[in-house]
Amino acid sequence: MSNTLTQYFSAATFALIALSMMVMPVVNSTAQRTGGFAHGHHIATDFYAYWNAHGGLSINGLPITDEHPEVSLTDGKSYATQWFERARYERHPENVTHYNVLLGLLGTNQAEGRSFDGTSDQSNTSTHMYFTQTRHSLLNSPGPFLIYWTSNGGLAQFGYPLSEQIQEVSTDGKTYDVQYFERHVSSTTRNRVTPDTRCCWGC
């Protein structure tokens, strides 16, 4: 009888250990694969939290790479990086918790080599915001860029404006009102501002 009980408890213990070993990778995998998308790319837990808190799909777009080490064009250092249709995420563990995920300067890279005239209007009103740092401004006319900028993360999400509103021909052959920011390029469609994918596609 005692031998039977010993064998039973040994088998039960073995089964529990085997089950726990099977469950552990699943839990860890779930933690690391938060935000999976149908086309195969996943967003790490901290990147996914930032993605959700800062506009999700409409502002950042879908992930177009997995997380990987990449040298930043800003400071020449290597960071864990992930590309989205409209943003480039970097992990900065040297920063305090709320600032350990930063956006790359996509708009700055896109505007490299170009010169944009500044504005002479240095006023700040409900419909005009001037930035001494770049000598450019945000307006709500002809496109509602000021409303869009302030409603979707402002300086942290977009950075300073690098241009005034200008008209450019996009990849679809159509002309849009466009404004360059340090971390984004935004354009208008039917008086609605949307992030421009030209920053990321083809990079």
pLDDT digits (tens, 9 = 90+) for 55-98: 888 888 889 999 999 998 778 899 999 999 888 999 998 887 77
Percent of the residues in the chain that have a pLDDT greater than 70, as a whole number: 73
Dig out the tokens for 65 from the structure: 């790479």
Closest alpha carbon to 54 in 10, 101, 97: 101
Phi, psi angle pair for 148, to nearest 5°? -65, -45
| Of residues 161 and 19, more confidently modeled | 161
CA angle 99/64/96 to nearest 5° reads 10
Whether residue 7 contacts residue 14, with contact meaning beta carbons closer than 8 Å, is answered with no
So what's the pLDDT on residue 36?
Answer: 60
Which residue is it, tokens 């020449």?
Answer: 76
Phi, psi angle pair for 123, to nearest 5°? -80, 160
User: Per-residue pLDDT averaged across 18-44, rounded?
Assistant: 50
Q: Which amino acid is at 161?
A: P
Mean of the per-residue pLDDT values for the chain? 77
| Of residues 162 and 10, more confidently modeled | 162
Tell me how crowded residue 17 is: count the other CB atoms within 10 A of its CB.
10
User: Per-residue pLDDT averaged across 27-56, rounded?
Assistant: 70
**Total-model pTM:** 0.66
Closest alpha carbon to 104 in 132, 78, 139: 78
Cis peptide before 63 (omega within 30 of 0): no
CA separation for the pair 70, 99 (Å, rounded): 19
So what's the pLDDT on residue 38?
Answer: 54
User: What DSSP state is assigned to residue 197?
Assistant: G
So what's the pLDDT on residue 105?
Answer: 87
User: Per-residue pLDDT averaged across 107-123, rounded?
Assistant: 91
So what's the pLDDT on residue 146?
Answer: 95
Which residue is it, tokens 């073995």?
Answer: 14
